[in-house]
Structure 1
Amino acid sequence: MTALSFDTSPYAASEKTPARPAVIDFFSGCGGTSAGLRAAGMRIAAAVDLDAAAAATYRKNFPDSEFYEVDIRKLDHNAFDHLVTSDSPLVFSACAPCQPYSSMRHSGSKSRPQERSLLLTLIPFMDRLKPDALIVENVPGLQKIPGGSTWNRFLRYLERSGYSTRWEVIDCRAYGVPQRRKRLVLLASRHGTIDFPEETHGKDLLPYSTVRDWIGDLPAIQAGETYSGDPIHRSGALGDLNLRRIMAITEGGSRSEWPSELWLDCHRKSKGHQDSYGRMRYDDTAPVLTTKCTDITNGRYGHPTQNRAISAREAALLQTFPKDFKFLGGLKSMTRQIGNAVPVLVSKAMGQHIIEHLQTSKIENCG
């Protein structure tokens, strides 16, 4: 099985097919959410992100969409008025940056997490444009911050504004993503009760997608090499010692297989972080891909059989980006963009579900 394909053909409106929902993608990053929603049949009208590298990648892949490279807190609330039409549903998507546990305020011997999220900056835009539906994706744990949290405040706003909401911490594997990644996802609708799309992979369903399914047919390359047919299929260079280390590890194995002369002092003192320098297993799902997932020192990011870390293209495929998705920037920049992205198949599943929900709601309202 090779990397899955995506139907990105136009979702043409007709008498039987309503106009495509228009999407405004807030905190879009390089375009993982937009790619999934486009594949689901939505029209990506606009996106917003402050990151210059991600913005360049986004513009390359969505040339027909308006892009606002700006801090959302400085963006006029009427910036998108011209994109709204009466015959096309409007959908907001948002993956607001949030580090709810990263900033600690100390008081005596105790410390408390200080929440920092931009999720509430959506509210003025929602008040003005009243989108028909909303998709929010974030880190699990945001919903657990006690008392007056951004999450709870945002949910209360949606309830007061007449939205039906449903949120869950999902296992991305359940929607075909070959990666052990869990995310907090919220769906909201102004047109009746909304639920979640049915899972497609797991027990009594399709088997979980594997590393082999997505990267097994890519051409072999060496550490530090870029494949001539795809500049994104590029692997980081390895020094002699790290090359010896990865060569000493079998598929799915870890540094516990090293001979003693390859060990670091810190590894001798602690048995933790066994995933660093480890290899993936072809017939299993990948670990969570981070913003440093093309570096073997930062996790189990070694290629299953080749003596190198996974390439940027392999990382993108394991995030379920289409094979022809283009990333701009150096290897570190591309890896950061990929690691920060929403897995494309997750947003595609949510997008298809919202389209069906809006169509059904329209039929019911007409009835």
Structure 2
Amino acid sequence: MTLQVRSRPAPNLLKTAKVFDFFCGCGGASAGFRAAGLEIAFGLDNDSDAAQTFQSNFTGAEFILADIEQVSEDAIDGLVDAWADHPLLFNACAPCQPFSKQRRGVADPDDTRLQLLYHLLRFVYRHRPELIFAENVPGLRDGSAGKDLFQRFTQALSELGYRVSHGVIRSQDYGVPQRRGRLVLMASLLGSIAHPKETHGPDSPSPKYSTVADWIGSLPAIAAGETHPTMPSHRAARLSPLNLERIRATPPGGGWRDLPPHLQPNSRRSGFKGYTDVYGRLRWNAPAPALTTRCISYSNGRFGHPQQDRALSIREAAALQTFPIEFTFTGNLNSQAKQIGNAVPALLAQRFGESIIAHLKQLSQNDY
């Protein structure tokens, strides 16, 4: 790179780290980092609805609504200078769709989303944050579309002096009520950094995984197409008469194969080989499958309520993504579902945020 590097004084590691959230979406990662004790200083995203959600929940943070390709790395000079004596954490959870196993076919080499992490490097090179966090689908590291990109990204960080740790984790091992495998990268200019230990599952402090019932079992009942009068975002999509008949015939934990022949979708009965986990209900006493951008659609995944004859509401989907109950969303129903499905589970970010705080504390005690 031929970018200008700015010098920063060594921060006071006892001061609260400031989070600069690139590709912030609605703020799932920021919600978790804030819960851990970090402070959110900045957000950047190109989705106007997600931007409004982020800004309404993180009122003290600066925000840029734009594609990162269109933002100069010097655009945040003033904000970086304002927090010169604080450690900085650059969070970079870029859109994962080009690398997802849910994607059909081969990734388009001209898809500009494949290059987003390189644009982040412009900001890293100029400002040298002490810490970097990135979360994405495992295909970013292991898939054909992302493997070379990820290797070059981690190599660039190493050449800049970062100690890098990355690996595929299971979100349910950190208390998230979803079976959701994710690639997590952590990098530090200050010294070696490691992923936190699992909090849930065998040989952990909580042997049992969090379940759907733990997170949405106490929410009030509503019908398909209904909005709860007092609970924000507790709104469920309508169901067609046919899909209402289907979900009434679906047992808890069941799917389209459990339907009588006359209710089974034609594409499934004719030997469809695509997604099979559709037209399904969740199980109360188990984690949910990974939520997607269509997490409130009964026909697009196992997103039917375990008991009520409807799909998940926005509030329930947000709860399964471990957003706090007071977190509010803006945009229409589909936009809110997209924001939630694209988000980093807040509790996952919280656990990693806590480990980042421990990393800084340990270094401060070692007189870094």
Q: Would the TM-score normalized by the shorter structure come out above 0.5?
A: yes
**Residue type matched to 1:233 in 2?**
H
* Secondary structure class of the residue paired with 2:367: helix
**Residue type matched to 1:210 in 2?**
T
Q: Percent of counterpart pairs with the same letter?
A: 48
**1:218-297 correspondence runs (5 A):** 218-270=219-271, 272=273, 273-297=275-299
Do structure 1's residue 187 and structure 2's residue 186 form an aligned pair?
yes
Return closer, same or farther for 1:117/1:183 CA change in 2, 3 Å cut-off. farther
Return closer, same or farther for 1:73/1:313 CA change in 2, 3 Å cut-off. same
Return closer, same or farther for 1:282/1:167 CA change in 2, 3 Å cut-off. same
Q: TM-score, normalised by structure 1?
A: 0.89
* Secondary structure class of the residue paired with 1:29: coil
Q: Give, in angstroms, the shift of residue 76 of structure 1.
A: 2.1
Distance 2:211 2:217 in 1: 9
Which residue in the other structure is 2:62 paired with?
66
**Residue type matched to 2:115 in 1?**
S
Number of residue equivalences: 344
Do structure 1's residue 76 and structure 2's residue 75 form an aligned pair?
no
**Residue type matched to 1:87 in 2?**
D
Return closer, same or farther for 1:143/1:307 CA change in 2, 3 Å cut-off. same
**Residue type matched to 2:269 in 1?**
R
Q: Give, in angstroms, the shift of residue 101 of structure 1.
A: 5.2
Which residue in the other structure is 1:152 paired with?
151
Distance 2:268 2:55 in 1: 43
CA contact (8 A) 1:98 1:118 kept: no
Return closer, same or farther for 1:34/1:112 CA change in 2, 3 Å cut-off. closer
Return closer, same or farther for 1:63/1:81 CA change in 2, 3 Å cut-off. same
**1:1-367 correspondence runs (5 A):** 18-84=14-80, 85-100=83-98, 114=109, 116-145=114-143, 149-205=148-204, 206=206, 207-270=208-271, 272=273, 273-366=275-368
Deviation by residue 1:320-359 (Cα, 9 ceiling, x = unmatched): 0001100001111100000000000111111111111012
Which residue in the other structure is 2:6 paired with?
none
**Coordinate RMSD, CA, aligned:** 2.0
Q: Give, in angstroms, the shift of residue 87 of structure 1.
A: 2.2
Deviation by residue 1:141-186 (Cα, 9 ceiling, x = unmatched): 1112569822111111111111101001110001100001111110
Further displaced range: 84-93 or 47-56: 84-93
Deviation by residue 1:187-245 (Cα, 9 ceiling, x = unmatched): 00011111110110011221110000000000000000000012410001111111111
Q: Give, in angstroms, the shift of residue 361 of structure 1.
A: 1.1
Unaligned runs of 5+ in 2: 1-11
CA contact (8 A) 1:100 1:117 kept: no
Distance 1:148 1:293 in 2: 28
Distance 2:228 2:106 in 1: 49
Distance 1:80 1:69 in 2: 13
Q: TM-score, normalised by structure 2?
A: 0.89
Unaligned runs of 5+ in 1: 1-15, 103-109
Distance 2:297 2:131 in 1: 38
* Secondary structure class of the residue paired with 1:191: coil
